[in-house]
Structure 1
Amino acid sequence: MENQSLPEDQLLETERLILRPLQMGDAAGLLGLYAMPEVTEFTDIPTMKEEAQALRWIEQLNAMRSAGQGLRWGVFDRESGDLIGTCGFHHWDQSRRRAEVSYDLSPRYWGQGYMREALQAVLRYGFEQMRLHRIEALVDPRDTRSQNLLYGLGFKLEGVLRDHDFIKDRFQDDMVFALLEGEWKKQA
């Protein structure tokens, strides 16, 4: 199976959110998000201290999208226009029709259903546009918010990979969650 190209415009809209690929002009908002240690705590994204780090990260995301390896959206509050999080796919294996989903959100928006709303649109895009059969998520066992979010979206816990990741100078276990296309269709 040859690499599928994605449309240039990957705009997704929900009731409260607009999701679009990040642009260089979003660097200040991204820095504001990733300067908060609680946002990057369970990720391999370093807590950012300067806008140049955000610009480099946006460049990496654009390169990943261009190479057909994944895509990540900025999550913008429809009312204020503020960048409040990011979410998307990486480790996209087109021949096996699977990808890994990841996400982050400003603490100001935690517990209000924003990331659930964003991920519902992203999962739909993954299954319908990217033709994924399986969407995986790797979660730090300490990240109970993320676990609850995934369970609520219909993901199933498949197991724990011991010392699977080396993040922020330590090995950590990863809980493996997955949602299959057929499971998603039953609940959609």
Structure 2
Amino acid sequence: MSVFPVLQSARLTLREFRPQDAPALFDIYRDAVSMRWFGTEPLQTLAQAEAQVAVFIGWQQLPNPWLRWAVESQADQQLAGSCGLFKWNRGWRSCTLGYELAPAYRGQGMMREALQLALDWGFANMALNRIEAQVHPDNLPSIRLLQGLGFVQEGRLREAGFWLGQYHDLLAFSLLRQDWVQPS
């Protein structure tokens, strides 16, 4: 991918991560309450966030690039979270969706808005037929978000994740191209 896609809605800009995003990403990723759903340990240092930003930027160099957009609020030009399409399998025309949002931006429909942009872009530009997502069974806001976007729950993956010192079941969701209708 030669040019990183920048996407915009009425309230958001989805753009490439920049090194200066590390402090805001650190604020999100160090929050143990939020990270209980994310599938990884909370970050402990700003250096870890800087390394994570470098990983997101480096994904563009993969043979099948992975996209992780910085979700920026247009109202305050602050990093509100991120979303991305990763584990792209060109042959199978599938990928996985991931996302997180800072607590201050939750409950306002921002992630729904961001994911609508990302899903539209993925179906239009990556020749995708299927987008998958995995969610902790207790993460009810995320489950409602996916269902509201048309994702269908396909099953439960027993002890599929390991973080915070224990195994976690995950619910498997998918969205097919034929089922994607931009929600209003």
User: Could you say whether these structures have the same fold, taking a TM-score greater than 0.5 normalized by the shorter chain as the test?
Assistant: yes
Matched letter for residue 118 of structure 2: V
Alignment of 1:3-22 (within 5 A): 6-22=1-17
TM-score norm. by structure 2 comes to 0.93
The residue number in structure 1 matching 2:21 is 26
CA contact (8 A) 1:38 1:107 kept: no
CA distance in 1, matches of 2:48, 2:183: 39
TM-score norm. by structure 1 comes to 0.92
CA distance in 2, matches of 1:43, 1:167: 9
- Asked if residue 182 in structure 1 is aligned to residue 178 in structure 2, the reply is yes
The residue number in structure 1 matching 2:148 is 152
Answer with 89-98 or 118-127: which moved more.
89-98
Post-superposition offset of 1:167:
1.9
Post-superposition offset of 1:168:
2.1
Secondary structure, counterpart of 1:112 in structure 2: coil
Post-superposition offset of 1:186:
7.7
The residue number in structure 1 matching 2:93 is 97
Matched letter for residue 155 of structure 2: G
Deviations 1:59-84 (A, max 9, x none): 11222221024110111100100101
Deviations 1:40-75 (A, max 9, x none): 121123322321111111111222221024110111
CA contact (8 A) 2:14 2:69 kept: yes
For structure 2, list consecutive stretches of 5 or more residues without a partner in the other structure.
none
Identity of aligned residues (%): 34
The residue number in structure 2 matching 1:49 is 44
User: RMSD over aligned Cα, in angstroms?
Assistant: 1.5
Deviations 1:74-126 (A, max 9, x none): 11100100101110012111111100001000111211100000000000011
> Between Structure 1 and Structure 2, how many residues are aligned?
183
CA distance in 2, matches of 1:186, 1:41: 30
Matched letter for residue 59 of structure 2: M
Alignment of 1:160-179 (within 5 A): 160-179=156-175
CA distance in 2, matches of 1:72, 1:100: 11
